[in-house]
Chain A
Amino acid sequence: MADTTASKSPAPGTSRQMLAEFWFYFRENRGAVYGLYVFLALVAIALLAPLLAPHDPIIQDRGALLVPPFWQDGGNANYLLGTDAVGRDILSRLIFGARYSLFIGVVVVTIALVGGIVIGVVAGFFGGWIDMVIMRVMDVILAFPSLLLALVLVAVLGPGLTNAMIAIAIVSQPHFARLTRASVLGEKDREYVMAARVAGAGNMRLMFRTILPNCLAPLIVQATLSFSGAILDAAALGFLGMGAQPPTPEWGTMLAEAREFILRAWWVVTFPGLAILITVLAINLMGDGLRDALDPKLKRS
């Protein structure tokens, strides 16, 4: 028995074996797997939006204002989830909205992750006054409630999707910097780093090739949290009129436009929010699974 299992699994230490181990633990968490499926479906919807959407998300049908969903009186199959106050198809807007939300998540996390890693590695690796100055600056950013700081930054930069993404990236970046610094501090005095230094590796190589790969696990978990957080914050900024501007089919902006109709047309309010909730929930479920699979401390229990 032992022989057959040993021959099936790849040699230990290779990336394939690590991936297999990761998948083994990730699969244990049923919620995480469901989250992954929903997330993959959302990615497919975002990529195929022009093919899937029955209507143009921006074109207004003046003959069909506030049409209810098809199962309600007055609804029809042409507009499955109904139309908004200017006669745009809600389903199509939701489908195109998936593009914006995922795009926002990817851009924000990429900027915050790269910025945070560089800042955190530099602070942890060099220590001393560089570390102190960097960490005090991070403390200052974290002292503000993130949404408030993002709101004010957007007010300075001017409302719009690009500026909203920059603002959210700035306020979520310190989390990555702190995590990276903490892991680097734990790693930099290990023997393998010393060995690499003795072998003649320069600072850049030591920082980013030798140390960084060993600090990635907590960063991956934080990245999923920031991904869902970015989607929520961008939707909140859109809702407050500071994010994507109408007629962009961004979910938060759709909610802002729908606000005055809440007591007349429940569907214009309900569906965009549901889309945000499902997306954020799916990503958070995946984040939980990633944490369980990557955190050796939890694996024991």
Chain B
Amino acid sequence: MIKFILGRLSYLIPTFIGITIVAFGFVRILPGDPVLLMAGERGMSPEHYQEMMARLGFDRPIWQQYLDYLWKLLHGDFGNSIVTKQPVLSDFLTLFPATLELAFCAIVIAVVIGVPVGVLAALKRGSWFDQVTMTSALVGYSMPIFWWGLLLIILFSGNLGWTPVSGRMSLLYYFPTPTGFMLIDSLMSGQKGAFASAASHLILPSIVLATIPLAVIARQTRSAMLEVLSEDYVRTARAKGLTPRRVVGVHALRNAMIPVITTIGLQVGVLMAGAILTETIFSWPGIGKWMVDSISRRDYPVVQSGLLLIAGIVMVVNLVVDLLYGLINPRIRHS
């Protein structure tokens, strides 16, 4: 098992170095001189220009600049935003809980609905339930989620007036946010109605972000279940006279869950891409909207480090899922 973990880790290091090269190279290939870009409209004298080049290290060979960049990253220096002048890392840490809360709710919705639906559809293969849910899953999988979000806003915020159009919290409430999760902080504040406000802001974005993972998980669970149900050990369990509930719940489901867990892990990348669109539509103050805003404001230090941090998170989560997979899959655990 330890060998397995070390193997996975050693596999990640070249990928991570590659990611830093991409993030570093991205700013290099941008059109325009970085120093002149910083000077803006005012311009600068040739002496000042030389000085700035030297101070920022742009006069040195490119590989030295890269090693410098890597050295800073290792010390937690991700550069400063051109717009807010704040360290990128601190902006990221301020905004990340909003995305995490949204992504967490989305994945909970996707798993809690997707897995039972997939299991039932497999058990009742060919029934109307199977057909309706799997057709819906394919529609969900094909959904342009930015449009889906707008439709939900038209229906629930516009026509019915049930949910707010944007943001995380009504301005009527103000309370400290120690955890960064509005659902928890609003409860802790003890203010009446604060939790309901947080939940009503969260519900539509969560549904939108959950749509594609839900469809993928339902389809994957169904096909994993179908595969497992035709295995010999399930037939043996049935022949032993075990109750159908035990056959499905213990023998089939446990084995079917192994590929499904990998699928759930892979949804983290999907959630990050989805967060970009969902947060833009609902003006959700998380890292997805932050990235889009920074790209349109040409705040390149933020884009560069944001890209790196998001890829890093996706990689770490995929590693954790891989390890979890090793833990629950006896074939890997015992090898």
B-contacting residues of A (Cβ < 8 Å)? 31, 136-137, 139-140, 143-149, 151-152, 155-156, 228, 232, 235-236, 239-242, 252, 255, 259, 262-263, 266, 269-270, 272-273, 276-277, 280-281, 284-285, 288, 301
Known: A136-B14, A156-B26, A276-B147. A143 touches B292 (CB 8 A): no
Residue B303 is within 8 A (CB to CB) of chain A in the complex: yes
> Among B114-122, B235-243, B269-277, which stretch is in contact with chain A?
B269-277
Residue B37 is within 8 A (CB to CB) of chain A in the complex: no
Q: Which 3 pairs of residues, A with B, have the shortest CB-CB distance? A: A273-B147, A140-B18, A147-B273
* Interface of chain B: mostly helix, strand, loop or mixed: helix
Task: From the candidates A139, A147, A269, name the one contacting B147 in the complex (CB within 8 A).
Answer: A269
User: Are B311 and A143 within 8 A (Cβ)?
Assistant: yes
What are 15 residue pairs bridging A and B, where the CB atoms are less than 8 Å apart in the complex?
A: A136-B18, A139-B15, A139-B18, A143-B314, A145-B273, A145-B311, A145-B314, A148-B276, A151-B276, A152-B307, A235-B144, A239-B277, A262-B158, A277-B139, A301-B226
Interface size class of B (residues with CB under 8 A): 35 or more
- Closest chain B residue, CB of each to CB of A283: B142
User: Are B303 and A152 within 8 A (Cβ)?
Assistant: yes
B21 / chain A contacts, CB cutoff of 8 Å: 140
| Binary per-residue interface labels of chain B (185-219) against chain A in the complex, 1 for a CB within 8 Å, 0 otherwise | 00000000000000000000000000000000000
Residue B154 is within 8 A (CB to CB) of chain A in the complex: yes
- Closest chain A residue, CB of each to CB of B294: A155
B15 / chain A contacts, CB cutoff of 8 Å: 136, 139-140, 143
Residue B30 is within 8 A (CB to CB) of chain A in the complex: yes
A-contacting residues of B (Cβ < 8 Å)? 14-15, 18-19, 21-22, 26, 29-30, 135, 138-139, 141-144, 146-148, 150-151, 153-154, 157-158, 226, 230, 269-270, 272-273, 276-277, 280, 291-292, 295-296, 298, 303, 307, 310-311, 314-315
* Interface of chain A: mostly helix, strand, loop or mixed: helix
B25 to chain A, nearest CB (A): 10
B157 / chain A contacts, CB cutoff of 8 Å: 263
In the assembled complex, the Cα of A140 lies from the Cα of B15 at a distance in Å of: 5
B14 / chain A contacts, CB cutoff of 8 Å: 136, 139
User: Are B29 and A280 within 8 A (Cβ)?
Assistant: no
- Specify which of A140, A240, A284 lies most central, judged by the most chain B CB atoms within 10 Å of its CB: A140
In the assembled complex, the Cα of A228 lies from the Cα of B315 at a distance in Å of: 26
In the assembled complex, the Cα of A263 lies from the Cα of B150 at a distance in Å of: 10
A148 / chain B contacts, CB cutoff of 8 Å: 272-273, 276, 291, 307, 310
B280 / chain A contacts, CB cutoff of 8 Å: 240
In the assembled complex, the Cα of A144 lies from the Cα of B318 at a distance in Å of: 12
- Closest chain B residue, CB of each to CB of A233: B273
